[in-house]
Amino acid sequence: MNSPDIRFPTQAFLQLMNLFQPSRVRYNRRVFCNRNLRMEKIEAIGLDMDYTLAVYKIEFDQLAFDLTCQRLVERYQFPREMLGFRYDPEFAIRGLVIDMRNGNIFKMDRHRHVSRAFHGTRRLGSERRVELYRKNLIHLSRPQYFLVDTLFSLPETHLYAQTVDLLDSLGQGSADNYESYYRAIRRVVDEIHQDGTLKQAVLRDLPRYVERDNDIAYTLERFIDAGKKIFLVTNSDWDYSDPMMSFLLDDVIPGTHRWTDYFHTIIVSANKPRFFTQTTPLVPEKDAKESDAGKVFRGGSLRKLEERLQTAGDKVLYIGDHIYGDMLKSKRASTWRTTMVIPEMETELDNMESVREEFLKLDRFFQRRQDLNVELNYQQRLLLSLVQLQDMASANGDYRNPIPELAQVSEKNVAETRRALRMAERGYQETMKIVHAPFNPRWGMLFQESSVHSVLGAQVEQYACTYTSRFSDFLAYSPVHYFRTPRDVLPHEREG
C-alpha cells in the first residue's frame, strides 16, 4: 500500500458523511453485535469473496436458474416444460428447509416449530403441516432435509418448487420422484459452478452480474493503516478470483492499481469448510502474476495460515456470508472472531424502519395483552372463591351475607377484563398485519418466525460475533472500535 496522503482523509470524510445521520450510523448500514468485539485487539482480518466482497445482483440468480433448467432438459432429459419456468427472486429466503421426500419447503423457528410450509409453490394446509412436522422432532441432519443457508441456493429452491408442481400435474408426484428430481437439480447446480459454465458467463459481463462498491477499497485501506493484516480465503479458483477482485478493487484509490496490494495473503481454491479442520500446507498459485508471487496460494489450512500471519485465535477476525462454510466451522475449529455479511439484511432493515412506529405499538399491545391475562386470571380466581364462599354460607343457612353482591361486582370485572383482552388481541393482530406487510409475503421476516428467532436468526446469534449487511459498513466505525453487545436478559429480568 502507498503511504497515506492528503486525499485519503478527504475521501474518508466524504464516505463517513454519506453513512451518517445526525448522531448515529444509518440503521441499514450498522454493524450489530452478539458478542463484545474490541477491534483494537484484532491483528488480522480475513475475508471471503462471494457475497462478502463480490455481491451478486438478481441477474446472477436468473442466470443460474436459466442455465440449470437448460442443462436439466438438454443433458438429463428432464421434461421440456421446465424451459418455461420463470424465476421469482421473492419466492425464497435464507433459512428455509427443503423436505425433498415430501416436495415441501418450510420455515422453522429456533425451537424447530414449523408454522408455515409450501408444497411446491402452493401453501400446505394446516392439517397436513401438523401431521408432517408437529408430531415428530425435525432433525436437519437427516438426508431428506436440505437447509437453504446461502444465497446461491435461492434459485434452485424456486426451481425445485416449480418442479414439484410439474410432477404433480403430470401425475408423477411421489416421494421417490420428489427426492430424485431435487438431487438432480442440486447436482446440476454444482456442475455449472464447478465446470466454469456459470463463472465464464459472469466474467464476460461483470457489471451486469456484480455490484461494485468502491467503499470496500476505502474500508480495507483504513484497516491496513491501522496496522491490521488483510487476507482472503475463497473457494473460487484463481482464474475467477483474479478478474473478479480486479473488477472490485483495481484503481479505485489513486496510487493503488492492483487489487492484490490490499492483501497480506490470498488463498484460492480453499476447500472450505475443510480448510478450517485440515492441516494441508499452503501451495503457491502457479498461475498468479509474477508481481503477486509470495502472497497467492491454493488450498492450505487454518493452522498454516496462522503460521504465515504470525497471529492466531481471537486476534483474527474472519468475515464471510455462509453460516456453515464460514461461521460455524471457523468457530468450532478455532477461537477466531467472526462477522457474518448478510446482503439481504439491508432491505430487511429498510422495511423494519418503515414500520418502526407500528413495531413499538405492537410491543405495547403485547404487554397490554399479557397484563390483561394476568388480571383476568386474578379476577376469575376471585370470583371462584366468592362463589365457593356463597355456597358454604347457603349450606349453613346464612342468607344475609354480602357475598352475592360482591360476586356480582366480580362477575362484572371478569366480563370487562375479557372485553378489554379481546380488544387488545384485536389491536395486536391488526398491528401485526401492518408490521408484516413490507416483508416477504410467503415467509415473513428473515430473522423471525412468529414471536421468536427463526433458524437463521438463531444461527446468526450463536455463531456470528457481529453481523452486518455489507463489509463496507465497517467504514462508518473506527478501525479500533469497541462493539458491545446488549445485556442478555431472561424473561424474569424484563418483567417487574
Question: Phi-psi bin for 364: left (phi > 0), alpha (psi -120 to 50), beta?
Answer: alpha
At 491, list the grid cell. Answer: 424473561
Q: What is the pLDDT of residue 400?
A: 61
DSSP E strand boundaries for 4-103: 20-21, 24-25, 32-33, 37-38, 44-47, 96-99
Q: What is the pLDDT of residue 33?
A: 96
DSSP 290-341: GGGTTTEEEE--HHHHHHHHT--GGGEEEEES-IIIIIIHHHHH---EEEEE
Which helix or strand (DSSP H or E) is residue 249 part of?
helix 238-249
CB atoms within 10 A of CB 80: 9
- Terminal CA-CA length for the chain: 56
On the CB side of 221, how many CA atoms lie within 13 Å of its CA? Answer: 24
At 43, list the grid cell. Answer: 491483528
Q: What is the pLDDT of residue 489?
A: 77
Q: What is the pLDDT of residue 19?
A: 55
Annotation says 168 is catalytic? no
Distance of CA 458 to the CA centre of its chain: 10
- The residue assigned the cell 378489554 is 420
Q: What is the pTM of this model?
A: 0.88
Q: What is the pLDDT of residue 49?
A: 97
Q: Could you read off the pLDDT tens digit of each residue along the chain, which spans 496 residues?
A: 544 444 445 555 555 555 555 457 888 899 999 999 999 999 999 999 999 999 999 999 999 999 999 999 999 999 999 999 999 999 999 999 999 999 999 999 999 999 899 999 999 999 999 999 988 889 989 999 999 999 999 999 999 999 999 999 999 999 999 999 999 999 999 999 999 999 999 999 999 999 999 999 999 999 999 999 999 999 999 999 999 999 999 999 987 779 999 999 999 999 998 998 889 999 999 999 988 989 999 999 999 999 999 999 999 999 999 877 666 776 777 889 999 999 999 999 999 999 999 999 999 999 999 999 999 999 888 888 888 877 776 766 665 667 777 778 888 989 999 999 999 999 999 999 999 999 999 999 999 998 899 999 999 999 999 999 999 999 999 999 999 998 887 777 776 5
Name 452's bridge partners: 449
CB atoms within 10 A of CB 423: 14
- The residue assigned the cell 423471525 is 448
Rounded to 5 degrees, what are φ and ψ at 263? -115, 135
Q: What angle do CA 403, 404, 405 make, to 5 degrees?
A: 90
CB atoms within 10 A of CB 222: 19
DSSP reduced 3-state for 468: strand
CB atoms within 10 A of CB 154: 24
Element counts in the chain: helices (H) and strands (E): 16, 20
Q: CA torsion angle for 317, 469, 150, 199 (degrees, to 10)?
A: -90
What is the Cα–Cα distance from 198 to 212, expressed in whole angstroms? Answer: 19
Among the listed residues 5, 48, 99, 213, the single catalytic one is 48
| Alpha-carbon separation of residue 10 from 4, 23, 27 (angstroms) | 11, 20, 24
Which helix or strand (DSSP H or E) is residue 190 part of?
helix 175-194
Q: What is the pLDDT of residue 41?
A: 97
Contact criterion met (CB below 8 Å) for 304 and 323: no
CATH 3.30.1360.170 fits 28-52+211-347, yes or no: no
Which helix or strand (DSSP H or E) is residue 107 part of?
strand 104-108
On the CB side of 199, how many CA atoms lie within 13 Å of its CA? Answer: 18
Q: What is the pLDDT of residue 10?
A: 53
Contact criterion met (CB below 8 Å) for 339 and 466: yes
DSSP E strand boundaries for 134-189: 145-147
Annotation says 165 is catalytic? no
